[in-house]
A = this chain, B = another copy of it.
């Protein structure tokens, strides 16, 4: 079972082609300017300059967080996915320029990390807990693999293999003991194995996974050393579970700790379990995934509820206003979900993949392509956020850049890699996992999925195949031709030659409740259309949004609006608003509620905050 790769798929989808173009034409050029510190009034990046510093080509000093190199690596990875669709001389030239810089910053033995090379070369590998060297190496490898696949150029791939080979000579049984404070190297090494077919990379990934949480915790050992100095002093209080090193990975059964770290680790575990047919590891992945999606995930596909530690907390703890729900963590959930699909083929993994993509991930990027969310709350009252320091992490508007800027380039690479998650092949089976207009031609087998609004035409040409069309959780699939259905998939027996199939995929609008143990959603409802979660914004509804009341049997009308895409209707219904009439100078009262009838207008959650600062709310009080 493997995905038809991003390099092979041509996207032509009314929603996603716009998004793809936004990233290629606006976001990536903007980010290049950011990485070169040429955007005014944005947080300083210094990323490119750091490479020059490490290469000895700049007299400046290293600036920024320890893992800043990854911003460039993720940018190259995203550019690579764009280049697979269409070569673009300008973007490619910028990549080659960047790759030359990276090459110059690499030390003779292969080591590559501008922070350590510039600031503390003698401290190499001394602080695996916080140093992020292996994390940076992972993103380097992912960029190199993507750029090689896109262009066939192997300079960056050679750089990354040289570094990977150094890591392999350094860490392992009978070598130095270690595993990364921030997982990422593991899944990257597996990508490197897949492109190189060199098993040592798979084995090294396995070493890092298998060593984690076994015996004495290496992070504790590091911190106990006499000359240890914290890079992030707040980490002094973090326990092993923050780093997912509280137990051997096969014994872990809940999502815990830093959410991005967790998602990247679990993704690699799923990859490794599949590639090595490791049933125990697969079982651990199943448990962790189940815990994530049935106990610790926001309805928007956000994960990691708490600001401090950007972390998972406990089952059902999903506060709306103080939510962290980092954009990168939901990108991680997409990675984990797609790998779980490769592992077990369950279509529900893709329901979660879409839940994360269409809501928290898409929310991460503004419609102008120049502004980004890092934190993704489900409830925003600007006045409260301005005055309550408990909510200081929540931004009411997308930001130009961040001092820790993991999210924007991560958004760029996930959004440009979407075509690589649509189709999968497994012998004589083809899976169509997400219904995005697109086509591919692989080994003489041709697939073209043409989408017009909710209508799809699927053209297949080539050898006989059994074709599985995933039924999204909250849509109806209607077709005169496709009737066979099993376990979440409609099935077509393609008997060879050229065939055309048409179907409609009609998003349902439904009203959701949360599990009775979710305190933050008690007595509240939220609205979903297809995979898209909706929210109320003050600009469409009077404030306070806390006064809105939604009937559980509300029926919604759909309406297209100028400022949103064609496939993003807003929803309207008649609900109520609690009147403030008798509340003048009164904070608590036993008076009965006076409700006023009111049109409630909802927009896709991913689009909130695009019309200025205002209140926003996903969970509306039921009436």
Contact = CB atoms under 8 A, between A and B. Distances in A.
A389 B547 contact: no
A492 interface: no
B294 A389 contact: no
A215 to B, nearest CB: 26
Interface string A289-315: 010011101010000011111010111
Contacts of A517: 544, 546-547, 580
Interface in A586-612: 586-593
Given A390-B390, A592-B552, A515 B322 contact: no
A98 interface: no
B290 A585 contact: yes
A370 interface: no
A513 B580 CA distance: 12
A383 interface: yes
B389 A309 contact: yes
Number of copies: 2
Contacts of A513: 588-591, 593
Nearest to A522: B546
A322 B552 CA distance: 29
Contacts of A519: 321, 379, 381, 384, 544, 546
Given A523-B622, A552-B592, A621-B523, A515 B586 contact: yes
A549 interface: yes
A506 interface: no
Q: Which of A295, A299, A311, A544 has the most CB of B within 10 A?
A: A544
Contact of A588 (B313, B319, B514): B514
B390 A307 contact: yes
Contacts of A392: 308
Interface in A489-523: 510-519, 522-523
Interface in A58-100: none
A386 interface: yes
B386 A314 contact: yes
A173 interface: no
9 contacts: A299-B588, A313-B388, A317-B383, A319-B321, A516-B547, A516-B577, A517-B546, A523-B523, A552-B593
